[in-house]
Structure 1
Amino acid sequence: MTGDKGAGRFGKGAGRFDKGAGRFDKSVGRFLIADVPGLAARVTQRIADDLPVYGRLPAEELHGDVRTIVGMTIRAFAEVLRTERMPPPEFLEKVRLSAARRAEERLPVDAVVSAYHYGAAICVEEVTATAEPHELIEAHRLLLDCLREITSAVTAGYVAESQSLIGERDAARHTVLSALLDGRGAELDPAHLGIRLPPCYLALAFTIGRHPDEDRADVDATVASRRKIRRLRTELDRALGHPVLTRLSADEGLALIPSDSAPDRAADTDRARLAKLTASLVTVSGVPLTAGVAASTPAEVPRAVRLATELRDTAVGTGRPPGVYPLTSLLLDYQLTRASPARAHLAALLSPLTEGPDLPATLRTYFASNLDRRETASRLHVHPNTVDYRLRRIATLTGLDLTAHTDLLTLRAALTAHDATDPQRPGRT
């Protein structure tokens, strides 16, 4: 595709570009048409070499469908140079359909767009090799305008197909999650839905704290909340490497995390993995998370979700810090917060403390500080003598001695029962 410039193929003598008349020689494009198969092969090979995702395509597809659309695009470029008109709608529709196929094959959109740019670059090289400098200005403008039209068609086709695929994926996830939560996991056809059911699910039930933006007067709280939820969902999918079954709202969430561990050991075996996952969720969303976790087979998911939710509520209700809590971390608190006659009697032991709202808080902080009065004072921002006075007052009002081992255990249990039945307890939302 080279020629003798002296012969005037693109030369001034041939009158291809008349600056005085402002006309562009419309026959320029025929030099691209001279060897479309050879040029298409070059472009296709360049794409495969420089864009790894194309290089990994099956040879039949690369040298079939992809090369066909490359050849069609080269002809379109040539026609634009010949007519000075942008490609017709029927050509752009073919581009959209081709881009949709690439989306279905999960090729990245940047690679798909880049492939057309490679084709345009090689076409420019062909024109440049035989044209005079002043003749290239209009050719470049036309090819750039054409590339803009093509890029628009590519992105439109790719995005439309991607949204369709996302809709299908989300519908499948919703179907599977609903069936599992309703105890109908055995009725699912995972192969048909494109989702593999693992031997075990970790049900992660968690609270979602408020993001600072949700309380700013100059920020739409609804938008901030949706952004928080979107970040959580995206990070779950990213961290686990596949779409996760989730149900999220502004203040709480549920996620079913696949696990290869045995259900009776998974909650503890996978605890480090869950802690790492939760830490990444906190970092991405910018909000604290407190979670309960329980494991089960797919058929027993409803039971696991109930237990995980109860563990979450127990952790929040007893003032535990953000984190992930399996049953083994909350054995005593979980048992004491279950409704029973004993719980009511235990909670009643602290009823005399209502005369001073600082007394239950002091007792709670005292236990959280591992019975260290100085640490308790530091957390409460009071003098240690104030802590001593309050502890003596608690002993007087309840009749329980904090220096006696048995009474100390009873007070700890009474505080847990009290917090479980108090609607104003710390951490309850």
Structure 2
Amino acid sequence: MTTQPAAAPRPAAPLTIGGTPLDKRLVTAVHELAARVVTRLTERIPVYASLPAEQLRGDITAIAVRGIRGFAQVLRTGEPPTAAQLELMNRSAARRAQEHIPLDAVVGAYFLGAHECLDQVLADAAPGDLADVLAAQKLLLRYLNAVTESVFAGYIAESQAALGERQSARQALLSALLDGGPVQQAAERAGMRLPERYWVVSVAAAPHPDEHAPGVDPGIAAGRKLRRMRAELDRQAHGEALSALSPDGGIALVPAVPATATGTARPPAPADAGFARLAGLVRDMARACGAELTAAAVAAAPQEAAGAASLATRVRQVAEGCGRGPGLYRLDDVLLEYQLTLPSPARDRLAALLRPLEGRTDLLETLRTFLACGLDRRRTAERLHIHPNTVDYRLRRTSALTGLNAAHGPDLPRLQAALAAYGAWFSPCSTPATDPR
């Protein structure tokens, strides 16, 4: 809603320059002045120079005429623009938003027109007209204040509505891709052209340090982390990325861009180059949001995105489950561990090695983090926000309960395999063959 400013005092007598009322100076030259305003717009605000001539002669000129008449009324009455006049400006600004004319250009057009009006009415001012000149300038400021509020309100309301519709259409497209349904109509509604292939990325985000900081609202810290993560994804993705991300992670579909030759005799294979680029994007997202990200990616055509999302999520879970550190992984990076998660008697026996830790999430989390940190107890403590002595204690308890020592070389591969199998056993994606007990 536009708030009208307090009314200016009604002039005791008409404001005049050289004996001619200022409002009449505008009204009698309104069409000539409007044409001059439109010419100045095309000269000084580049976006207006790119508009069709028909629109400049029609809608834009009509707006200029209406604005000039409106300011003339303000000069005549000393009152701010009427609600009806402001409503017209509000609707006009909404149309400019629909046409994707930048807001600064829309507001700048009103200020440019106001300056032209002021030049018109004050062209013949003499020293004896000083009082009326000052009064006219004050009325112009009040006029521009009311106009700017109305223009901002109309433009922003329309922009937010359009953004909401576009976001809804994009989310509908993402849902169609991940549900395995027909996507072409959804892409057309979203105004997007589907790429030949996507990198389907499953992301898990660790907490930002501020989420554990005393006195800090963890919800606000998590929201800021999510906002920065999304912003970096949108900034770097080639084409339009689609994502369903939360502070804990989620799924992103990033258009795959084929690698181009760089003058070398043998450029890298597109898949490898594309994955390296994507890994860089994940690192930059982590740096931007201030939290560690563990992700997995699968390249797929749009119609294969649903299956790729399921596989990417599984690969990420395997990487996390067996103690891999933050970063981006492919199936090739965890082939052995992935195989160990598939139902078999061997998987169940491996999972049983960690059965004594059931219910001890602190011990399991410490063990995974210790392996992800390259057996570095201090890094493990920092990541878990605990004292290094607590890490030592938990690792000793793990060793006492399982008979396996993470710091003992021969036990390490067995522990990693057991973690992969145990993670698969308790993952909702898996179907155990037999009870590991």
- 1:283 aligned partner: 287
- In 2, the alpha carbon distance for the partners of 1:234 and 1:419 equals 32
Q: 2:332 aligns with which of 318, 328, 336?
A: 328
- Tell me the secondary structure at the aligned position of residue 123 of structure 2: helix
- 1:13 aligned partner: none
Q: Which runs of 5+ in 2 are unaligned?
A: 1-10, 260-268, 382-387, 428-437
Larger displacement relative to structure 2 (238-247 or 43-52) = 238-247
Contact 1:199 1:260 in 2 (8 A): no
- In 2, the alpha carbon distance for the partners of 1:78 and 1:415 equals 79
Contact 2:340 2:417 in 1 (8 A): yes
- 2:6 aligned partner: none
- 1:113 aligned partner: 107
1:359 CA drift (Å)? 12
Q: 2:82 aligns with which of 88, 94, 97?
A: 88
- Tell me the secondary structure at the aligned position of residue 86 of structure 1: coil
Are positions 1:139 and 2:136 aligned together? yes
- 1:49 aligned partner: 43
Q: 1:235 aligns with which of 228, 232, 237?
A: 232
1:140 CA drift (Å)? 0.8
1:249 CA drift (Å)? 2.2
Contact 1:40 1:70 in 2 (8 A): yes
Change (3 A) 1:93 1:218: same
- 2:3 aligned partner: none
TM-score w.r.t. length of structure 1 = 0.77
Change (3 A) 1:191 1:411: closer
Listed one character per residue, the Cα deviations across residues 336-382 of structure 1 (whole Å, up to 9, x for unaligned) are 2333221222344567999xx9999789857964xxxxx85776799
- Structure showing greater radius of gyration is 1
- 2:97 aligned partner: 103
Are positions 1:294 and 2:298 aligned together? yes
TM-score w.r.t. length of structure 2 = 0.75
Contact 1:190 1:197 in 2 (8 A): yes
1:202 CA drift (Å)? 1.4
- In 2, the alpha carbon distance for the partners of 1:399 and 1:152 equals 69
1:104 CA drift (Å)? 0.9
1:410 CA drift (Å)? 5.2
- Tell me the secondary structure at the aligned position of residue 130 of structure 1: coil
- In 1, the alpha carbon distance for the partners of 2:22 and 2:195 equals 61
Q: 1:247 aligns with which of 219, 244, 249?
A: 244
Listed one character per residue, the Cα deviations across residues 220-244 of structure 1 (whole Å, up to 9, x for unaligned) are 4334333433333343333337653
1:414 CA drift (Å)? 4.1
- In 2, the alpha carbon distance for the partners of 1:366 and 1:283 equals 22
- In 2, the alpha carbon distance for the partners of 1:398 and 1:213 equals 35
- In 2, the alpha carbon distance for the partners of 1:242 and 1:113 equals 31
- Tell me the secondary structure at the aligned position of residue 323 of structure 2: coil
- In 2, the alpha carbon distance for the partners of 1:352 and 1:214 equals 31
Give the aligned residue type for 1:108: P
Identical-residue share of aligned pairs (%): 42
Contact 2:321 2:419 in 1 (8 A): no
- 2:198 aligned partner: 201
Change (3 A) 1:232 1:366: closer
Contact 1:278 1:289 in 2 (8 A): yes
- In 2, the alpha carbon distance for the partners of 1:81 and 1:217 equals 59
- In 1, the alpha carbon distance for the partners of 2:258 and 2:110 equals 47
1:69 CA drift (Å)? 0.8
- Tell me the secondary structure at the aligned position of residue 158 of structure 2: helix
- 2:31 aligned partner: 37
- In 2, the alpha carbon distance for the partners of 1:160 and 1:270 equals 39
- 2:314 aligned partner: 310
- 1:427 aligned partner: none
- Tell me the secondary structure at the aligned position of residue 207 of structure 2: coil
Q: 1:28 aligns with which of 3, 22, 27?
A: 22
1:287 CA drift (Å)? 2.3
1:95 CA drift (Å)? 1.2
Listed one character per residue, the Cα deviations across residues 55-88 of structure 1 (whole Å, up to 9, x for unaligned) are 2222322333222211221121112111212222
Give the aligned residue type for 2:39: Q
- Tell me the secondary structure at the aligned position of residue 194 of structure 2: coil
Larger displacement relative to structure 2 (161-170 or 274-283) = 274-283
Contact 1:294 1:308 in 2 (8 A): yes
Contact 1:318 1:420 in 2 (8 A): no
- 1:256 aligned partner: 253
Aligned-residue Cα RMSD (Å) equals 3.8
Change (3 A) 1:379 1:96: closer
